[in-house]
Amino acid sequence: MISKMKTGQVLKIGLELHCQLTNLQTKLFCDCLSNYRNSSPNENTCPICLGLPGTLPLLNKKAVEFASMICMAFNCNIPEKISFYRKNYFYPDLPKNYQITQYNSYELSSIGYEGAIEFVGESKSKTDTSADDQERSKVRIARVQLEEDPGKITYEEDKSAVNNYSLIDYNRAGVSLVEIVTEPDFSSPLAVRTFLKEIVNLFEYLGVTDPSLEGSVRCDVNVSLGGGKKVEIKNISSFKEVEKSIYYEITRQKTLIMHDIDVKSETRHWDEKRKVTVAARSKEEEEEYRYFPEPDIPRIILGSKFVSRVRATLPELPIERLKRYTDVYKISDHTAKILINDKRISDFFEESLRYYKSPIEISNWIVNELLTKINEKDRQGISDHNVRGLDFLSVLPSQVAEVAKLVEEKSLNRNIARDIFDKSIESGTSPLKIIENLEIEKISDEASIIKIIQDILNSQPQLIEQSKNNPNVINYVLGLIMKETRGRVNPQIAMKLIKESLEAN
């Protein structure tokens, strides 16, 4: 399909990302909890977020700060003053039947505008270090705006036609949402996928959201072919579906063009079950949002020092971390990228360094051993769309540090070290403990092995006689010992001791 596309019309894809600021304590305009996920229906509401008559929005200071951090990460301009607008449309999940948002048509009101971000594209595998891996794409950001999430509508029956009514839960209503609108700078579904992966990671670095929470990062897509009309796809539940929906939409539009049918500018919904996009409403209808300045929220003066103040509190971003890993730690670019591409892996790495400061050795253990394990688990389909596998392994940073230290300082054989590391990951015991146990059994336990042998010979005295004609008896006894000790005995030593015991008797 991609190749056909190359010979055919230019493909332009733009994104509209919605990121819930889940790391806030309270909603955007009231002091209900930002974390609505643990409440029973409509419990996490108050007069403000239910839009009761007479209530007024009270803007969350930290939400403005978080949104501005996102703007900084996307290299957007941040104006000295921001303001809010009402987007008027009716819908049962919208308590006021308008959404408080930002809007730039009449003035520059949004928290961020005109940014751009480069994305690397994820390294394909640890063996692939080819140059195209390094290629960076640039996406322009039109604007970043702060707005409120609506509530949620559910049904008792799956098939919507069967239901006589819907069920509305306003717990989510009023939760802070940051909308990021890109220019149509993506030219393939794959680029979108890699971009999204990186962006989610970026949000995590910023500490504004927990992407593993269902629905915390959502994405609408617009697709146009050959300079034609823009079609918007909404209602896409996960990032995997984003890619699928784009592929579908490309095929649909191509088919239309092939049959000389005009592509309409419209909004379509992604039907996840049927894997098709369906027409939702025409552009004409949706342009009637009757935007106007929200009279209940004054224009907010951020002031000239705002940006520098927030920037000073900005956590280290992936791109900065990458630089530090390669420049200061001298880790290879390839390995460093793998580390920073997942904040949790990168944090794990940093934590390991606290136990043993050997960045190269530790990074190798993480990238070559630990991540391989995680990828295996991933392939088994254990992990969820946004969640990485680290949670599923009970590995501690100290364990990795210990293995690295054993190899580097005690010149432990790498193969043995790998075995120990594997055991350590499986059992959760520290590598040092494992080594200790191994050594205790190997060296100091001859006496107890002899005791086990004696016990066996006492209960089966015929073995002594048989052994004189049958050399297999030694192996038989060894088997019994191994069974008894669950294989913890060094077989060479045991063999020697069995022979001695049999001969002595």
Partner 1 sequence: MRSLYELPAFVVSRKIQDQEISAEEYISIIIERIKEVDSKVNSFTSLNFEGALTMSRAIDKKIKEGINTGLLTGIPVGIKDNISVQGLKNTCASRMLSEYVSPYDATVVSKIKEQGGIIIGKLNMDEFGMGTTSEYSSFGPVRNPWDLEYVAGGSSGGSAASVASLQIPLSLGSDTGGSIRCPSSFCSVIGIKPTYGSVSRSGLISYSNSLEQIGPIARTIYDLVPILNVISGEDPKDNTTVHKKYDYQLNTIDNLLTKKYKVGVLNEFIDDSEIEVARTSQKKVKQLEDYGCELEDTRIPLADYALASYYVIATAEASSNLSRYDNLRYGYEGSPEGYEWNSYFSESRSKFGDEVKLRILLGSYVLSAGYFGKYYAKAQTIRSMIKREFDILFNKYDILLLPTMPVLPFKLGEKISQPIEQYNLDVYTILANLAGLTAISIPAGLSEKGFPIGVQLIANAFDEQKLIDAAVILERAEGFEKWIPRI
Partner 2 sequence: MGTDIKKLCALAKLEIPEQNIAEISGKVKEVLLMFDKLDEFTTEGFEIKSTEDLKFERAFENLRDDRPRPTLESSGKTRPKLKLKNTKDGYVLGPRI
Binding interface with partner 2 (CB under 8 A): 24-26, 31-33, 40-43, 46-47, 50, 52, 58-64, 81, 83, 90, 92, 106-107, 153-154, 160, 163-170, 288, 290, 293, 298-303, 306
Among 10, 106, 134, 264, binds partner 1 (CB under 8 A): 106
Between residues 302 and 322, which has the closer beta carbon with respect to partner 2? Answer: 302
Tokens of 429: 């015991």
Nearest approach in angstroms of CB 344 to partner 1 is: 38
Quick one: what does residue 56 bind among partner 2, Zn ion, partner 1, none, with the CB cut-off 5 to 8 Å set by partner type? partner 1
User: How many residues would you count in the chain?
Assistant: 505
Beta strand 266-271 with 231-234 is parallel
CB of 32 to Zn ion, least distance (A): 3
Cβ–Cβ < 8 Å for 20, 217: yes
Q: What are phi and psi of 282, to 5 degrees?
A: -85, 160
What CA–CA distance (Å, rounded) separates 96 from 57? 11
Per DSSP bridges, beta strands 217-225 and 231-234 are: antiparallel
- The answer to whether the Cα torsion of 469, 472, 478, 483 is positive or negative is negative
Judged by CB under 8 A, the residue of 290, 311, 385, 496 near partner 1 is 290
Of 136, 480, 170, give the one whose Cα is nearest residue 322. Answer: 136
What residue 434 binds from Zn ion, partner 2, partner 1, none (CB within 5 to 8 A, per partner kind)?
A: none
Considering only 9, 37, 41, 46, the residue that binds Zn ion (CB under 5 A) is 46
Decide which of partner 2, Zn ion, partner 1, none touches 49; Cβ closer than 5 to 8 Å per partner kind: Zn ion
Angle 143-148-151 (CA atoms, 0-180°, nearest 5)? 135
Q: How far is the CB of 98 from partner 2 (least distance, A)?
A: 12
Cβ contacts of 484 within 8 Å, gap of 6 or more: 452, 456
3-state SS assignment for residue 116: strand
Residue 302 touches which member of Zn ion, partner 1, partner 2, none, C-beta under 5-8 Å by kind: partner 2
Q: Residue 298 or residue 461: which is nearer to partner 1 going by CB?
A: 298
Q: Which does 287 bind (CB under 5 to 8 A by kind): Zn ion, partner 2, partner 1, none?
A: partner 1
Task: Name which of 169 and 369 has its Cβ closer to partner 2.
Answer: 169
Please pick, from the candidates 16, 133, 296, 351, the single residue that binds partner 1 as defined by CB under 8 A.
Answer: 296
Distance CA 266, CA 285 (A): 10
d(CA 36, CA 216): 11
Annotate 465-486 with DSSP letters as a single string. HHHTT-THHHHHHHHHHHHHHT
Judged by the rule CB under 5 A, the positions of this chain that interact with Zn ion are: 30, 32, 46, 48-49
Residues lying near partner 1 in the complex (CB under 8 A) are found at 47, 50-59, 86, 88, 90-92, 95-98, 106, 164-166, 168, 170, 287-288, 290-292, 295-298
